[in-house]
Copies of this chain bind each other. A is one copy, B any other.
């Protein structure tokens, strides 16, 4: 058994958890797995960050080059996030023949193919379990356990902040702004919540999971993004009455027409397994043609849950190294070359909430706009609520399946029509039965 040397760059929430986990469990890893991990280098801004984790002063540096250039380091762990210097760290580490473990979803969402190829060229691995779903083993599940399947659908609650906000809005009947403010006060949401509430974080993860699951390159830019800022207590209450709950889902489908990848608030049936995932927890629903429906549930963030994923990756690499072997190099990435289906072509049912003018004929005009855009209505419900006033009232429209492009055209037309004072929300109702199209019958 030889010691496996780890260099950590970044000792914040996740990096600090990784260091603490490795140091506290060192003897267990030796006893149970014959793996002796040593943190030989640790890079942070202040030495106190390293000392607080129990890292020896000799290992501390403020310069990431010291980690990557140390010839004794086997595995470089990047936990600083962001594009730079993470990009330079990966390139230097690969060039030096070192494996990289990271949780950097924003960077991998955009550039995973480039880095995986570089790793492969240099005979090393890039591992990123912690980039999606925090502590939930989902990257490795797609990379290894479910490889016997053609993966048909990946649909996840991939952002804990937004699930926390939506869960509290539903439980308390509270408004978005109030819950967000409270979540910020409690540290569950950032002062600038945009990456979470506008869907960018979930889109990065959706891109990574779709790329791995479908074996084709999907980048964050390919993923349609719509956040939760417009969701009102009224929408959640209305959805509930109709048998739905509202979740911010990252959905990726491997359809005959191409890969469909999108993040948006989604109405799903209240009895669906994903509908039952509350609070800050994450869950990823995966449908394979052989395995059928599966779901993987756990904490999507937090110091130790994320550290669990990072250390799992480190130990997976360390297992052969400690036995004198070398991990296989990164496999050739994403060999399928599937087209990404434009969002405009999505066909789904919609939930539309409008403020409609309170005059004879207004509703007929609205329905006319829908009809003109080839959208057929299945339900109209005028809501008696505080939002209704003398001049306009809230009306909910549910549609049959319609084409996204047509819905956007109708929404634009309605926004300019005198019969409508506001297009308050256009939300998609997911046809979850379509997720299992293509599953083998037993």
Q: Which of the residues B148, B277, B325 comes within 8 Å of A25, measured between beta carbons?
A: B148
Give the CA-CA distance A323 to B327 in the complex, in Å.
12
Q: Which of A259-267, A310-318, A353-361 contacts B (4 or more CB under 8 A)?
A: A310-318
A27 to chain B, nearest CB (A): 11
Q: Is the CB of B25 within 8 A of A442?
A: no
A6 to chain B, nearest CB (A): 12
A137 adjacent to chain B (CB < 8 Å):
yes
A319 adjacent to chain B (CB < 8 Å):
yes
Most buried by B among A140, A290, A308: A290
Write out the residue numbers on chain B whose beta carbons fall within 8 Å of the beta carbon of A288: 135, 308
Write out the residue numbers on chain B whose beta carbons fall within 8 Å of the beta carbon of A303: 442
Give the CA-CA distance A136 to B293 in the complex, in Å.
9
A335 adjacent to chain B (CB < 8 Å):
yes
Q: Which of the residues B21, B147, B149, B273 comes within 8 Å of A290, measured between beta carbons?
A: B21
Write out the residue numbers on chain B whose beta carbons fall within 8 Å of the beta carbon of A277: 273
Write out the residue numbers on chain B whose beta carbons fall within 8 Å of the beta carbon of A309: 145, 291
Q: Which of the residues B21, B146, B295, B336 comes within 8 Å of A32, measured between beta carbons?
A: B336
Give the CA-CA distance A442 to B303 in the complex, in Å.
6
A294 adjacent to chain B (CB < 8 Å):
yes
Q: Is the CB of B276 within 8 A of A290?
A: no
Query: Can you list 18 pairs linking A and B with CB atoms under 8 Å apart?
Result: A25-B148, A29-B147, A31-B335, A32-B147, A32-B215, A135-B294, A145-B309, A146-B312, A148-B310, A149-B308, A273-B276, A288-B308, A291-B309, A292-B304, A296-B296, A305-B442, A319-B328, A320-B328
Q: Is the CB of A290 within 8 A of B311?
A: yes
Write out the residue numbers on chain B whose beta carbons fall within 8 Å of the beta carbon of A442: 17, 302-305
A224 adjacent to chain B (CB < 8 Å):
no
Q: Is the CB of B305 within 8 A of A150?
A: no
Q: Which of the residues B298, B316, B328 comes within 8 Å of A294, measured between beta carbons?
A: B298
Chain B residue nearest to A135 (CB atoms) is B291
A144 adjacent to chain B (CB < 8 Å):
yes
Chain B residue nearest to A37 (CB atoms) is B148
Q: Is the CB of A312 within 8 A of B144?
A: yes
A374 to chain B, nearest CB (A): 37
Q: Is the CB of B147 within 8 A of A312?
A: yes
| Contacts A290-B311, A293-B299, A328-B323; A145 near B137 (Cβ below 8 A) | yes
Chain A positions 199 through 229: 1 when the CB is less than 8 Å from some CB of chain B, otherwise 0: 0000000000000000100000000000000
